[in-house]
Amino acid sequence: MRLRNTMYRYQARMGKMRGKRVKISKQDALLWYSFFAESAYDGGLEEGLSPRQREIALSVLSQIERAVDAGHRERMARIPGLKSLSDRTMYVGDTAHFPKGCKSCLFGTGLSAVRRTNRCNIQCPFCYNYGELDMQEPIGEGYFEIGGSRYRVEDLPLLFSIQGKPTGVAYVYLEPFMEIEKYEEIIRVFHEAGVYQHMYTNGTLATEENLRMLGAAGLDELRFNLGASNASDRVIEMMGIAKRFIPMVGIETPMTPAFFQQFHEKKEAIFAAKPDFMNCAELHLNPNNLENYLGENMYMARMGYLSPISSRNLTLELMREAGEENWPLVVHDCSNRTKFTRDLHLAKQEGGWFGKSGYASEFDEIPFEAFLPVLQDPDFRFLEEEELPKGYRFEDIVI
């Protein structure tokens, strides 16, 4: 009985904060996150946060995210010709040039990845595998990884007959052009089966010969990570050559201030290559690449992907320019919200229950240090603030 009464009193105290959405002040948020960051650094958070501490930590993430979301809405309102694909993603430009690989991801069977190459010829600061490129597990000679399992090309007819054909597949991980000749046969088989196929590349190893081979084999779409080569003139030239052999050619690059500048410097040359689209991916950080961007203002989208606030803001600025100037390509807002939508759709395709999603944070615990710059930024403001209830204030040192 004593334990039950203690629990009731504890729940009543907690209810003061849980009964309504607490809009923690920016000052209190900075105090608490500085404390959490220092405690994590000196090992004081080895056991994780207490329930009260976690309530405070999550309220800070919510305050930051709400302010960022409001900024996104303001920027989108200034984009002429802004379009939506059933509210799943946003873009500007001719819908006929919207990448069909993205439609397969958002409306079809999802992003069905086909993996083979565990190596890359360059190292990008935004790479998910930054610092670990020489430690990626090989798929195995003669094999492709599909759905987490290994297959030889001759196994595909069996796979089709039992599980059906996906609407599309994507060739990823890490740089396919490191051994591009090994992809020809599997591309032919998927093409003959009527499966839409797109491939990602940094473009630095592309040649007229291997681009012609990909087109002849039946590749439907090639995406150049133009930021990986710092918008290299040669890679831009290869995009133009790829258009001669492959039906759809585009750009897919994490949006960073560096790429934003590079794009504008090479804008006319890029347009001359006649890409169909540019997917502006919101820069997604994980424990491998986070250190390369520490010091930038960060937010966490729906308690999942961690991104610099500047990334999507730059995308929306680019879309505004595209709408005003009527650019000859689709500019697609491949944002964290789009990724959130993708995972909801994929869970539905897999027969998941209502609300199920694989969308989640890449971090085991909140990287508190990463949020200190935005909390210290005098130009970043929370939409609303209120005083924390007693027992949650910093001077109480909640445990």
Looking at residue 395, what is its pLDDT? 87
Contact 277, 99 (CB under 8 A): yes
Contact 32, 58 (CB under 8 A): no
Contact 65, 312 (CB under 8 A): no
* Intervals of the chain under pLDDT 50: 1-17, 19
Looking at residue 46, what is its pLDDT? 61
Composition of the chain by helix, strand, coil, percent to 5: 50, 15, 35
Q: What is the pTM of this model?
A: 0.93
The DSSP code sequence of 190-245 is HHHTT-EEEEEE-STT--HHHHHHHHHHT--EEEE-GGGGTS-HHHHHHHHHHTTT
| Domains contained in the chain, CATH given | 25-79+366-399 (no CATH), 96-349 (3.20.20.70)
Looking at residue 300, what is its pLDDT? 98
pLDDT in tens, 320-366: 999 999 999 999 999 999 999 999 999 999 899 999 999 999 999 99
Calculate the alpha carbon distances from 376 to 30, 151, 174, 373, 398 in Å.
7, 51, 37, 5, 22
- Among 316, 320, 255, which residue's Cα sits nearest to residue 263? 255
Looking at residue 265, what is its pLDDT? 98
Looking at residue 3, what is its pLDDT? 34
Q: What is the dihedral of CA 293, 294, 298, 300, to 10 degrees?
A: 90
Looking at residue 2, what is its pLDDT? 37
